[in-house]
Amino acid sequence: MAAADKTLDVKGLNCPLPILKAKKAMKEVPAGGTLEVLATDPGAVPDFEAFCKATGATMLEQGETDGVFRFVIKNTG
């Protein structure tokens, strides 16, 4: 589990807020850098997969522990 360049905690927020906040946070991540997102909304799983496809970002890690979903997304921009 690698450390990300930026961590975004969106636990307790429901769609579309996690995606909107991730989109904004990704602008602060350098190209080649990573954004770690922590979410509790199960809908975040398909949403972040779609987010990566739409933005060209790469999903490096995806998992769930005790109801918290963790995504590590690489900014390929």
User: Cis peptide leading into 42, omega within 30 of 0?
Assistant: no
Burial 15-27 (b: 16+ CB within 10 A, else e): eeebbebbeebbe
For residue 42, the SS3 value is coil
Give the residue numbers marked as catalytic: 15
